[in-house]
Structure 1
Amino acid sequence: MTHDPMTDDAMTPAIEAIRAAGIEHRVTRHGRVRSLEEAAAARGIEPRDLIKTLVVRVSEGEHVLVLVPGDRTFSWAKVRALLGTNRISMPDADEAKAVTGYERGTITPFGSATRLPVIADTHLCGRTISIGGGAHGVGLTVAGDDVVREFDATVADISDEETRPTT
Protein backbone atom coordinates (compact mmCIF):
# COMPACT_ATOMS: atom_id res chain seq x y z
CA MET A 1 0.00 0.00 0.00
CA THR A 2 1.40 3.40 -0.93
CA HIS A 3 1.27 6.27 1.51
CA ASP A 4 -0.36 9.48 0.29
CA PRO A 5 1.01 12.43 2.31
CA MET A 6 -2.12 14.46 1.52
CA THR A 7 -4.42 12.19 3.55
CA ASP A 8 -5.29 12.44 7.24
CA ASP A 9 -3.03 9.43 7.80
CA ALA A 10 0.10 11.57 7.29
CA MET A 11 0.75 12.57 10.86
CA THR A 12 2.66 15.59 12.05
CA PRO A 13 3.56 16.25 15.69
CA ALA A 14 0.81 18.91 15.64
CA ILE A 15 -1.88 16.46 14.51
CA GLU A 16 -0.70 13.89 17.06
CA ALA A 17 -0.79 16.55 19.81
CA ILE A 18 -4.27 17.87 19.01
CA ARG A 19 -5.64 14.31 18.82
CA ALA A 20 -3.96 13.38 22.12
CA ALA A 21 -5.52 16.47 23.72
CA GLY A 22 -8.97 15.31 22.59
CA ILE A 23 -9.71 18.65 20.95
CA GLU A 24 -12.33 18.62 18.21
CA HIS A 25 -10.63 19.64 14.96
CA ARG A 26 -10.51 19.15 11.22
CA VAL A 27 -7.28 18.64 9.26
CA THR A 28 -7.06 20.58 5.99
CA ARG A 29 -4.38 19.77 3.43
CA HIS A 30 -3.39 21.70 0.33
CA GLY A 31 -0.23 22.31 -1.64
CA ARG A 32 2.32 24.99 -0.84
CA VAL A 33 0.99 28.52 -1.05
CA ARG A 34 2.69 31.86 -1.64
CA SER A 35 0.59 34.09 0.59
CA LEU A 36 -1.73 34.14 3.54
CA GLU A 37 -4.62 34.93 1.18
CA GLU A 38 -3.79 31.85 -0.92
CA ALA A 39 -3.65 29.68 2.19
CA ALA A 40 -7.01 31.01 3.41
CA ALA A 41 -8.60 30.36 0.01
CA ALA A 42 -7.14 26.84 -0.09
CA ARG A 43 -8.62 26.16 3.35
CA GLY A 44 -11.99 27.70 2.41
CA ILE A 45 -11.84 30.41 5.08
CA GLU A 46 -11.47 34.16 5.36
CA PRO A 47 -7.95 35.55 5.95
CA ARG A 48 -9.07 36.80 9.39
CA ASP A 49 -9.67 33.17 10.46
CA LEU A 50 -6.20 31.98 9.42
CA ILE A 51 -3.96 32.38 12.44
CA LYS A 52 -0.28 33.28 12.18
CA THR A 53 1.92 31.72 14.89
CA LEU A 54 5.06 33.75 15.54
CA VAL A 55 8.02 32.85 17.75
CA VAL A 56 9.20 35.86 19.74
CA ARG A 57 12.47 35.95 21.69
CA VAL A 58 11.98 37.70 25.03
CA SER A 59 15.57 37.15 26.19
CA GLU A 60 18.38 34.67 25.58
CA GLY A 61 16.77 31.23 25.84
CA GLU A 62 13.28 32.66 26.59
CA HIS A 63 10.62 32.58 23.88
CA VAL A 64 6.85 32.91 23.57
CA LEU A 65 4.43 32.01 20.80
CA VAL A 66 2.17 34.80 19.60
CA LEU A 67 -1.09 34.02 17.75
CA VAL A 68 -2.40 36.76 15.46
CA PRO A 69 -5.29 36.68 12.95
CA GLY A 70 -4.25 36.79 9.30
CA ASP A 71 -5.89 40.15 8.62
CA ARG A 72 -4.09 41.84 11.51
CA THR A 73 -0.51 42.91 12.19
CA PHE A 74 1.56 41.85 15.19
CA SER A 75 2.11 44.91 17.41
CA TRP A 76 5.65 45.04 18.78
CA ALA A 77 4.71 47.83 21.22
CA LYS A 78 1.67 45.99 22.63
CA VAL A 79 3.61 42.74 23.11
CA ARG A 80 6.54 44.55 24.78
CA ALA A 81 4.10 46.30 27.13
CA LEU A 82 2.32 43.02 27.93
CA LEU A 83 5.62 41.27 28.69
CA GLY A 84 6.97 44.25 30.63
CA THR A 85 10.13 44.51 28.57
CA ASN A 86 11.72 47.15 26.36
CA ARG A 87 13.14 44.68 23.86
CA ILE A 88 11.83 41.63 22.03
CA SER A 89 12.97 40.17 18.73
CA MET A 90 12.24 37.48 16.19
CA PRO A 91 14.72 34.62 16.20
CA ASP A 92 16.28 33.58 12.89
CA ALA A 93 14.87 30.54 11.08
CA ASP A 94 17.36 28.10 12.63
CA GLU A 95 16.66 29.26 16.18
CA ALA A 96 12.88 29.19 15.59
CA LYS A 97 13.17 25.60 14.34
CA ALA A 98 15.41 24.58 17.27
CA VAL A 99 12.88 25.97 19.75
CA THR A 100 9.67 24.67 18.12
CA GLY A 101 10.76 21.76 15.93
CA TYR A 102 8.98 23.45 13.02
CA GLU A 103 10.15 25.40 9.97
CA ARG A 104 8.88 28.94 9.53
CA GLY A 105 5.47 28.83 7.88
CA THR A 106 4.58 25.61 9.73
CA ILE A 107 4.95 26.75 13.37
CA THR A 108 2.08 25.95 15.71
CA PRO A 109 1.78 25.54 19.48
CA PHE A 110 0.47 21.99 18.93
CA GLY A 111 3.33 19.51 19.15
CA SER A 112 6.00 22.18 19.59
CA ALA A 113 9.38 20.73 20.65
CA THR A 114 9.34 23.12 23.62
CA ARG A 115 6.12 23.99 25.40
CA LEU A 116 6.24 27.77 25.25
CA PRO A 117 3.93 30.34 26.81
CA VAL A 118 1.24 31.36 24.32
CA ILE A 119 -0.16 34.85 23.85
CA ALA A 120 -3.35 34.92 21.80
CA ASP A 121 -4.85 38.03 20.27
CA THR A 122 -8.36 38.80 21.53
CA HIS A 123 -9.69 38.36 17.98
CA LEU A 124 -9.23 34.54 18.24
CA CYS A 125 -11.83 34.14 20.97
CA GLY A 126 -15.31 32.92 20.18
CA ARG A 127 -14.40 31.99 16.58
CA THR A 128 -13.50 28.95 14.54
CA ILE A 129 -9.94 29.38 13.31
CA SER A 130 -7.37 27.58 11.19
CA ILE A 131 -3.92 27.27 12.73
CA GLY A 132 -0.80 25.63 11.36
CA GLY A 133 -0.71 21.85 11.32
CA GLY A 134 3.04 21.43 11.55
CA ALA A 135 3.86 21.01 7.85
CA HIS A 136 3.57 23.14 4.74
CA GLY A 137 0.02 23.01 3.38
CA VAL A 138 -1.48 21.51 6.56
CA GLY A 139 -3.98 23.37 8.73
CA LEU A 140 -5.99 22.55 11.83
CA THR A 141 -9.49 24.02 11.98
CA VAL A 142 -10.39 24.36 15.63
CA ALA A 143 -12.30 26.58 18.05
CA GLY A 144 -10.12 29.50 19.07
CA ASP A 145 -11.35 29.11 22.64
CA ASP A 146 -10.07 25.49 22.68
CA VAL A 147 -6.59 26.70 21.67
CA VAL A 148 -6.63 29.33 24.43
CA ARG A 149 -7.75 26.73 26.98
CA GLU A 150 -5.27 24.02 25.88
CA PHE A 151 -2.24 26.30 26.22
CA ASP A 152 -3.55 28.42 29.10
CA ALA A 153 -2.87 31.31 26.74
CA THR A 154 -2.72 34.90 27.82
CA VAL A 155 -5.43 36.68 25.82
CA ALA A 156 -4.70 40.32 25.04
CA ASP A 157 -4.99 42.98 22.38
CA ILE A 158 -1.61 42.41 20.69
CA SER A 159 -2.40 43.35 17.11
CA ASP A 160 -3.32 46.27 14.92
CA GLU A 161 -5.49 46.47 11.84
CA GLU A 162 -3.40 45.64 8.83
CA THR A 163 -3.02 48.64 6.61
CA ARG A 164 -2.45 48.00 2.95
CA PRO A 165 -1.61 50.57 0.36
CA THR A 166 -4.55 51.45 -1.84
CA THR A 167 -4.08 51.19 -5.57
Structure 2
Amino acid sequence: MSEDTTYHRLISLLDASGVGYQLLDHAPEGATDAVCALRGHPASQAAKCLVLRVKVDRRTTWHVLAVVPGDRRVDLDAVRALYAARYVGFSDPETAERLARSVPGTVLPFSFDPGLEVVADPEVVAQPKLYFNAARLDRSLLMSGADYARLAEPRIERIAGPAAE
Protein backbone atom coordinates (compact mmCIF):
# COMPACT_ATOMS: atom_id res chain seq x y z
CA MET A 1 0.00 0.00 0.00
CA SER A 2 1.50 3.35 -1.02
CA GLU A 3 1.53 6.48 1.11
CA ASP A 4 -1.06 7.99 -1.23
CA THR A 5 -3.35 4.99 -0.65
CA THR A 6 -2.77 5.22 3.11
CA TYR A 7 -3.60 8.94 3.05
CA HIS A 8 -6.83 8.34 1.13
CA ARG A 9 -7.79 5.47 3.41
CA LEU A 10 -7.36 7.76 6.42
CA ILE A 11 -9.46 10.54 4.86
CA SER A 12 -12.18 8.04 3.89
CA LEU A 13 -12.25 6.73 7.48
CA LEU A 14 -12.52 10.25 8.90
CA ASP A 15 -15.21 11.33 6.42
CA ALA A 16 -17.28 8.19 7.04
CA SER A 17 -17.08 8.68 10.80
CA GLY A 18 -18.33 12.25 10.71
CA VAL A 19 -15.64 13.51 13.12
CA GLY A 20 -14.32 17.01 12.78
CA TYR A 21 -10.80 17.36 11.44
CA GLN A 22 -8.67 19.90 9.66
CA LEU A 23 -5.99 19.35 7.02
CA LEU A 24 -2.89 21.53 7.21
CA ASP A 25 -0.50 21.93 4.27
CA HIS A 26 3.12 22.83 5.03
CA ALA A 27 6.65 22.40 3.72
CA PRO A 28 7.69 18.73 3.62
CA GLU A 29 8.94 17.69 7.05
CA GLY A 30 8.93 14.51 9.13
CA ALA A 31 10.90 15.44 12.25
CA THR A 32 8.53 16.11 15.15
CA ASP A 33 10.06 19.36 16.45
CA ALA A 34 10.44 20.85 12.98
CA VAL A 35 6.92 19.99 11.81
CA CYS A 36 5.43 21.31 15.08
CA ALA A 37 7.17 24.64 14.40
CA LEU A 38 5.74 24.69 10.86
CA ARG A 39 2.24 23.97 12.18
CA GLY A 40 2.62 26.45 15.04
CA HIS A 41 1.84 24.36 18.13
CA PRO A 42 3.74 22.86 21.08
CA ALA A 43 5.23 19.40 20.56
CA SER A 44 3.09 18.08 23.43
CA GLN A 45 0.08 18.33 21.08
CA ALA A 46 1.69 16.11 18.42
CA ALA A 47 1.32 12.35 18.12
CA LYS A 48 4.79 10.77 17.75
CA CYS A 49 4.33 7.32 16.19
CA LEU A 50 7.00 4.61 16.40
CA VAL A 51 6.88 1.01 15.22
CA LEU A 52 8.38 -1.34 17.81
CA ARG A 53 9.42 -4.98 17.67
CA VAL A 54 8.34 -6.90 20.78
CA LYS A 55 9.93 -10.31 21.36
CA VAL A 56 7.94 -12.21 23.95
CA ASP A 57 10.10 -15.33 23.62
CA ARG A 58 12.33 -16.96 21.00
CA ARG A 59 9.40 -17.86 18.78
CA THR A 60 6.95 -15.02 19.37
CA THR A 61 7.50 -11.55 17.94
CA TRP A 62 4.83 -8.85 17.73
CA HIS A 63 4.88 -5.38 16.27
CA VAL A 64 3.42 -2.44 18.14
CA LEU A 65 2.68 1.09 17.00
CA ALA A 66 3.56 3.20 20.04
CA VAL A 67 1.91 6.64 20.08
CA VAL A 68 3.30 9.17 22.55
CA PRO A 69 3.21 12.97 22.87
CA GLY A 70 5.67 14.65 20.52
CA ASP A 71 7.77 16.07 23.34
CA ARG A 72 8.25 12.66 25.01
CA ARG A 73 10.18 9.47 24.35
CA VAL A 74 8.61 6.04 24.26
CA ASP A 75 9.45 4.12 27.44
CA LEU A 76 10.69 0.79 26.09
CA ASP A 77 10.76 -0.70 29.60
CA ALA A 78 7.06 0.14 30.04
CA VAL A 79 6.25 -1.56 26.73
CA ARG A 80 8.38 -4.57 27.73
CA ALA A 81 6.46 -4.87 31.00
CA LEU A 82 3.13 -4.41 29.24
CA TYR A 83 3.77 -7.45 27.03
CA ALA A 84 5.86 -9.45 29.53
CA ALA A 85 8.46 -9.43 26.77
CA ARG A 86 12.13 -10.26 26.95
CA TYR A 87 13.06 -7.60 24.36
CA VAL A 88 11.56 -4.41 22.92
CA GLY A 89 13.28 -2.27 20.32
CA PHE A 90 12.60 -0.22 17.24
CA SER A 91 11.59 -2.14 14.12
CA ASP A 92 13.92 -2.06 11.16
CA PRO A 93 12.92 0.61 8.61
CA GLU A 94 11.63 -1.87 6.01
CA THR A 95 9.33 -3.64 8.48
CA ALA A 96 8.11 -0.36 9.94
CA GLU A 97 7.30 1.01 6.48
CA ARG A 98 5.52 -2.20 5.44
CA LEU A 99 3.37 -2.38 8.59
CA ALA A 100 2.65 1.36 8.88
CA ARG A 101 2.12 1.60 5.11
CA SER A 102 4.01 4.88 5.02
CA VAL A 103 7.57 6.14 5.20
CA PRO A 104 9.29 7.26 8.42
CA GLY A 105 8.17 10.72 9.47
CA THR A 106 4.67 10.13 8.08
CA VAL A 107 3.50 7.22 10.25
CA LEU A 108 -0.11 7.62 11.31
CA PRO A 109 -1.37 6.91 14.83
CA PHE A 110 -3.77 4.45 13.13
CA SER A 111 -3.08 0.91 11.95
CA PHE A 112 -4.42 -0.48 8.71
CA ASP A 113 -2.51 -3.74 9.21
CA PRO A 114 -3.80 -6.51 11.52
CA GLY A 115 -0.20 -7.32 12.46
CA LEU A 116 0.35 -3.91 14.05
CA GLU A 117 -1.33 -3.21 17.39
CA VAL A 118 -1.72 0.46 18.39
CA VAL A 119 -0.83 1.44 21.95
CA ALA A 120 -1.37 5.11 22.83
CA ASP A 121 -0.30 6.94 25.94
CA PRO A 122 -3.21 8.50 27.90
CA GLU A 123 -1.69 11.96 27.37
CA VAL A 124 -2.23 11.57 23.60
CA VAL A 125 -5.95 10.80 23.80
CA ALA A 126 -6.44 13.57 26.40
CA GLN A 127 -5.32 16.29 23.96
CA PRO A 128 -8.12 18.65 22.88
CA LYS A 129 -6.01 19.30 19.76
CA LEU A 130 -3.94 16.42 18.38
CA TYR A 131 -1.67 16.96 15.36
CA PHE A 132 0.05 14.33 13.20
CA ASN A 133 1.43 13.93 9.69
CA ALA A 134 -1.25 12.45 7.46
CA ALA A 135 0.86 9.74 5.77
CA ARG A 136 2.51 12.58 3.84
CA LEU A 137 5.45 14.85 4.65
CA ASP A 138 3.63 17.93 3.30
CA ARG A 139 0.24 17.55 4.96
CA SER A 140 -0.84 17.15 8.56
CA LEU A 141 -4.11 16.55 10.29
CA LEU A 142 -5.67 18.13 13.36
CA MET A 143 -8.39 16.40 15.35
CA SER A 144 -9.30 15.90 19.00
CA GLY A 145 -7.61 13.19 21.03
CA ALA A 146 -11.03 11.88 22.02
CA ASP A 147 -12.09 11.47 18.38
CA TYR A 148 -8.75 9.83 17.63
CA ALA A 149 -9.29 7.32 20.46
CA ARG A 150 -12.81 6.55 19.29
CA LEU A 151 -11.73 5.90 15.69
CA ALA A 152 -8.33 4.23 16.16
CA GLU A 153 -9.40 2.22 19.22
CA PRO A 154 -5.86 2.04 20.58
CA ARG A 155 -4.89 0.15 23.68
CA ILE A 156 -4.39 3.01 26.15
CA GLU A 157 -1.40 2.48 28.45
CA ARG A 158 1.28 4.66 30.04
CA ILE A 159 4.16 4.23 27.59
CA ALA A 160 5.59 7.78 27.44
CA GLY A 161 8.94 8.26 29.08
CA PRO A 162 10.71 11.49 29.95
CA ALA A 163 10.76 14.50 27.67
CA ALA A 164 12.81 14.07 24.52
CA GLU A 165 16.08 16.00 24.54
Give the TM-score category using the shorter length: 0.7 to 0.9
Shift of 1:113: 4.1
RMSD over aligned CA atoms reads 2.0
5+ residue gaps, structure 2, are 1-6
91 and 163 in structure 1: CA distance in 2 versus 1, 3 angstrom threshold: closer
How many equivalent pairs are there?
153
Where 1:117 maps in the other structure, the secondary structure is strand
What is the aligned partner in structure 2 of residue 119 from structure 1? 119
Q: Is the 8 A contact 2:31 2:105 kept in 1?
A: no
More helix by share: 2
- Distance in 1 of aligned mates of 2:9 and 2:30: 23
Q: Is the 8 A contact 1:13 1:134 kept in 2?
A: no
Q: Is the 8 A contact 1:28 1:43 kept in 2?
A: yes
Shift of 1:140: 1.2
163 and 56 in structure 1: CA distance in 2 versus 1, 3 angstrom threshold: closer
* TM superposition score normalised by structure 2: 0.82
Q: Is the 8 A contact 1:53 1:132 kept in 2?
A: no
The percent of aligned pairs where both chains have the same amino acid is: 26
**Greater gyration radius:** 1
Shift of 1:88: 1.8
What is the aligned partner in structure 1 of residue 3 from structure 2? none
- Distance in 2 of aligned mates of 1:71 and 1:145: 19
- Distance in 1 of aligned mates of 2:52 and 2:13: 22
Runs of 4+ displaced beyond 4 Å = none
User: 1:91 is matched by which residue type in structure 2?
Assistant: S
